[in-house]
Every structure is written in C-alpha cells, then in structure tokens.
Amino acid sequence: MKFHVNLVKTVDDSYDIEIGSNLLNNLKEYLTESLQQQKRNIAIITDSNVHTIYGKNFEKIVKEAAIQAAAGENAVKVNTVVFPAGEKSKTRKIKEYIEDKLIEWGYRRDTLIIAHGGGVVTDMAGFVAGTFARGVPFINYATTLLAAADASVGGKTAVDTEAATNLIGLIYQPKKVFIDTATWKTLEQRDVSGGLAETIKHACMADKEFFGYLEENIEKVFDMDSQVCKHIAEKNCEIKYNVVMIDEKEQGLREILNLGHTVGRAIETVSDYTLYHGEAVSIGIMAQIKLGRKFGYCTQDDVNRVESLLEKAKLPVKIPQEIDKEALVKKLYTDKKVRGGKLRFVFQKGIGQMVQFAPGTNAANAVYSNFVSEDTARSIISEL
Ligand code: GLY
C-alpha cells in the first residue's frame, strides 16, 4: 500500500511596509480593522530599552484598538513581555521565557504577536510567532535604523547559539511592517551607525546613485534630518524587498544581502558582542572589498570611497587590537555560506552591483558566492 500526500501549495505571504514618522495612529487603525475581522489576543514583545521609553504608550494604543474593535463586547487580551536589550538576549532561553509568559497568560492559536523594537526584537518575536501554536501571525513595529534597514523586512527570524549566530530559526513573513523614523531620535550614536552599516551595504550592493547620496548626506542622519531619514528608510526597503521578492528562501540571489557578513558575523561573535552587529559588518565590508580589489572586482578608488563613507558613518574599518585574528579565521567556518568545509564570500562589483559567478536556471538560484582559500582570507584579515 502506498499513499501520496498531495500538498502542492499556492501561498500568498504578501504584506505592506509603512514608513513614516510617528505611526502609532496608523498601527491603531490597522489593528482595529484586523481585530474586527478576526479576534486575536495580542502579545507585544519588546526589550527593556524600548519598553522604558515607549512601552507604556505603545500598550495603551494597542489596548485602545482592542477596545474600539470590540465595540462594547469583551475586548481581547493585551499583554507585554519584556526581555533584556542586546544581542546577547537572542537565545533559546529567552525564547522559552517569552513562550512561558504566553502560556501563563493563557494564549493559544488565536494570538497576534507585535514585535516592538529593533533587530533583536523582530528576529526573536518573529521566531516565537513562527513556532507558537505551530505559527501565529505577527507584525513588526520597527524602532531602529538597523531593523528598518534589514531585520524587520524579509521574514528571517532566528536566535543565536554558542556555535554560530542565527543558526536556529525560520523564514516566516510578518503580516505588516511599520517603520517609525521618529523613534530613531532616542537611539545612541552607535546604534545609528550600526544601521548605517547595513544601509551602506545596500548601496554597495545595488545602487551607485544611492551611494553618492550617502556620500553627500550621511552626516545629516546624526542630526535626524527627517527628509534624509525617510529617504534612507525607503531606499533600504526598496533594495531589500527587490531581492527578497525574487529569492525569499535564499536559493542564491538572497546571499548578496550577506555582503560583509562573512567576516562581520565572525568578528561580532569573537568580540563576544562588544562590537555591535553593524560595527562588525562595517569591518566585514572592508574585508570583502579589499579581497575584491585583489581579485579585480573593484578598484582602489572604490575601496577608498567605501572606507571613507564607513568612517563618515562613525563606523570602525579596522579589526580592534583585542580581537584574536586566528580565532577569527577559525570562526569564519561557522558562516552559513560554507560548502564542503570551504569558505565562500559574496563580492561587490565596483559600487552598486554584485559579482555573479554563475547564472543559475532562474533569477533566484543564480550563484553569487565564491570559494576563498583560508590563506587568502587570513591575509586580508591580517591587513585589517
Ligand atoms: N539579513 C539578510 C537577509 O535578510 O537575507
């Protein structure tokens, strides 16, 4: 006897991203409408920093939406779970803590999760949403430039382990993303710079004109110039979703979003997260462009322009002295692009394009990673 389980699927995971300054009313409107269509208990997941500054008002707005949607009947439950801010919280232990809170509050399949915070929060809340009761919907309300530039868009969710960052997780798309540039005002300089590292990555990867715009305007982000912040948020989204829409599951093309992350992720871990993600990516961008110069993918002028833009963004371009460079070389092998025990990198081609190594059978599975020997990687790391 043999059964065939026929599960051919057509999935529509499309969603809207709303970008603007102070979007709480938009969130309220969106929630009221969706709760009227379907009642769901709401769990807001946030970190201690965001909660201290914005938590009370945010929960109030969500509760108002719940009451408005109930129209005299019992409003749905709204609770907030808070975990300590920082990359070190992106663990299975914290995920379990959040899940236990949801269970304690009696949440089941009729749950809606709202991630309120930066990249760690959106990665964590998305992962909780993807596995709680075998998957419940979630919304991202992104409060940092890093989340706006990368984490809140594209559906990658995960936690870190000792062995490697983002090793355990899933691709699970949000139902809606809000990117509130007004909340960038309360970010520390290092966090603004961190978000700019992912922004510069996007420009290096896909948009020469945007790179030029950043050269002219990047300092204005530190003054929170609203036009510049808005433009940057929009450009980041556009560049990222144009990749994700073609290759959601990272068959090939999506690997270009990993530009600078091969060395970057390794430095972040070897530094025991004393370097922020964006700071580590900045050094990683320098590693790939210097390697690219060696291989002939870009000129010394390109290297100089990228280095000077990273410096304008107040980002490190050299490996801090206290980092053990040999430990760093070993750590490179935990990168997700490693194949058959060999290191692979993605490279920018000049400024605004990526090097494609093989066309693939469709736009999604084209090959953008190429092998680099350990000795070559070591020689670049020794230069930085
Ligand atoms: N952060 C890289 C990606 O979303 O693929």
Q: What is the pLDDT of residue 165?
A: 87
Given a cut of 90, whether residue 109 has pLDDT beyond it is yes
> What b-and-e string marks burial along 187-217, b requiring 16 or more CB atoms within 10 Å of the CB?
beeebbbbbbbbbbbbbbbbbeebbebbeee
Percent of the chain with pLDDT over 90: 96
- Ligand 1 centroid vs 178 CA: distance in angstroms? 18
Region 128-142 average pLDDT: 98
Q: Identify the band that residue 97 occupies on the pLDDT scale cut at 50, 70 and 90.
A: very high
Cβ of 150 below 6 Å from ligand 1: yes
Q: What is the pLDDT of residue 163?
A: 85
- Ligand 1 centroid vs 150 CA: distance in angstroms? 7
Region 221-238 average pLDDT: 96
* Position in ligand 1 atom list of the atom nearest CA 151: 1
Cβ of 197 below 6 Å from ligand 1: no
Region 256-283 average pLDDT: 96
Given a cut of 90, whether residue 79 has pLDDT beyond it is yes
Region 289-294 average pLDDT: 97
Instruction: Write down the mean pLDDT value for the chain.
Output: 96
- Do the Cβ atoms of 368 and 346 come closer than 8 Å? yes
Give the separation between CA 303 and CA 285, rounded to whole angstroms. Answer: 10
- Mutate which of 253, 257, 262, 337 for ligand 1? The one with the most ligand atoms within 8 Å of its CB, which is 257
pTM (predicted TM-score)? 0.94
| Terminal CA-CA length for the chain | 63
- Ligand 1 centroid vs 382 CA: distance in angstroms? 27
Q: Could you report the per-residue pLDDT of 22-70, keeping only the tens digit for each?
A: 999 999 999 999 999 999 999 999 999 999 999 999 999 999 999 999 9
Q: What is the pLDDT of residue 303?
A: 98
Strands (E), 99-160: 111-117, 138-142, 156-159
Q: What is the pLDDT of residue 186?
A: 96
Cβ of 254 below 6 Å from ligand 1: yes
Given a cut of 90, whether residue 327 has pLDDT beyond it is yes
Identify the residue whose C-alpha is closest to ligand 1 atom 5: 257
Percent of the chain with pLDDT over 70: 100
Region 10-23 average pLDDT: 95
Q: Identify the band that residue 164 occupies on the pLDDT scale cut at 50, 70 and 90.
A: confident
Give the separation between CA 198 and CA 236, rounded to whole angstroms. Answer: 8
Q: Could you report the per-residue pLDDT of 336-381, keeping only the tens digit for each?
A: 999 999 999 999 999 999 999 999 999 999 999 999 999 999 999 9
Closest CA to 44 of 32, 64, 58: 58
Region 226-243 average pLDDT: 96
Q: Could you tell me the domains of the chain?
A: 16-186 (3.40.50.1970), 189-383 (1.20.1090.10)
**CA 98 to the chain's CA centroid:** 20
- Ligand 1 centroid vs 152 CA: distance in angstroms? 10
Region 122-130 average pLDDT: 98
Region 209-220 average pLDDT: 98
Region 205-227 average pLDDT: 97
Q: Could you report the per-residue pLDDT of 146-160, keeping only the tens digit for each?
A: 999 998 899 999 999
Q: Identify the band that residue 162 occupies on the pLDDT scale cut at 50, 70 and 90.
A: confident
Region 91-115 average pLDDT: 98
